[in-house]
Amino acid sequence: MSVVPVAAKDWFEICHVSDGVALLREKYVAHWLRCNIWFIQGRDRNLVIDSGMGLSPLTPMLLDLSELPVTAVMTHCHFDHMGGAHEFEHRLGHRACSDVYHDPMPSFDQVRGSAFVRAETFNALPYSGFTFESYMVRPAPLTGYLDEGDIVDLGNRTFQVFYLPGHSPDSIALYEKESGLLFSGDTIYDGDLFDTVYHSNRQDYRESLQRLKELPISTVHGGHFGSFGKQRMHEIIERYLAGEGRLVDPFAWVDEQL
């Protein structure tokens, strides 16, 4: 596949989803891998949820949206979600995988990153000379920890933390009770759920999804693919609990997407 270098400023696309909520995506990364980067503007500070693969600077794009200070929350420690975490002064996540943020590359190998980061992953290059074999995740030790029941306060908007292990030991989601918005990371999204990562726990995953069924959700903004409502959330959960809708072999799964 032929690719051409692109300017870093063109790496991200921005979609304004609702009042104060924007979606950023690495538009030259294949749709089946690219992470949803959620940006929420608050009165006193802003919130970014997940940070993509770290292939091109993210923070200049956020400054174009707002100059308020930013709290960066990682829903979990996988490379496609925390690759840009090093750019932020305030980096929060669950302590269960704090070691990964200190030294990300062993985890990249353990999650079988080579299944996802390959020539077909990119429609263009983030910078001249980039090769998929050279992809690296920079260390970004967390500066603070979030756990069940914690609150992320933006001044005029508050988000409750739900600890939802299963996909990974440190998976969390952020829930805004007033609007019913759930930012779910990879605990649930509109696609095959991945429970065969080296540190996944299938029983924990089932329990976490059962918890989500009880929430009065209006919209789920997942870590990948499109957003969806409560009915679709229940369909995805029920399908998983029935043993379907699972990403078992990442190499075979990626081949199916091509």
**CB 143 within 8 Å of CB 90:** yes
User: What is the predicted pLDDT for the residue at 4?
Assistant: 55
Percent of the chain topping pLDDT 70? 97
pLDDT above 60 for 97: yes
Q: What phi-psi label fits residue 67: left (phi over 0), alpha (psi between -120 and 50 degrees) or beta?
A: alpha
Which domains are present in the chain?
A: 8-257 (3.60.15.10)
User: What is the predicted pLDDT for the residue at 21?
Assistant: 97
pLDDT above 80 for 9: no
User: What is the predicted pLDDT for the residue at 116?
Assistant: 97
Three-state SS string across 148-202, please? CCCEEECCCCEEEEEECCCCCCCCEEEEECCCCEEEEECCCCCCCECCCCCCCCH
Q: What is the DSSP letter of 82?
A: H
User: What is the predicted pLDDT for the residue at 128?
Assistant: 84
Task: Please give the average per-residue pLDDT across 80-106, as a whole number.
Answer: 98
User: What is the predicted pLDDT for the residue at 226?
Assistant: 97
pLDDT digits (tens, 9 = 90+) for 238-248: 999 999 999 99
What is the chain's mean pLDDT, rounded? 95
User: What is the predicted pLDDT for the residue at 19?
Assistant: 87
β-pairing, 46-49 vs 37-40, is antiparallel
User: What is the predicted pLDDT for the residue at 8?
Assistant: 55
User: What is the predicted pLDDT for the residue at 207?
Assistant: 98
Residue 10: which pLDDT band, with cuts at 50, 70 and 90? confident
User: What is the predicted pLDDT for the residue at 1?
Assistant: 44
- Interior angle at CA 248, CA 244 and CA 251, nearest 5: 140
Higher pLDDT residue, 160 or 19? Answer: 160
Higher pLDDT residue, 7 or 234? Answer: 234
Task: Please give the average per-residue pLDDT across 209-236, as a whole number.
Answer: 97
Task: Please give the average per-residue pLDDT across 189-208, as a whole number.
Answer: 97
pLDDT above 80 for 2: no
Q: How many CB atoms lie within 10 A of CB 173?
A: 28
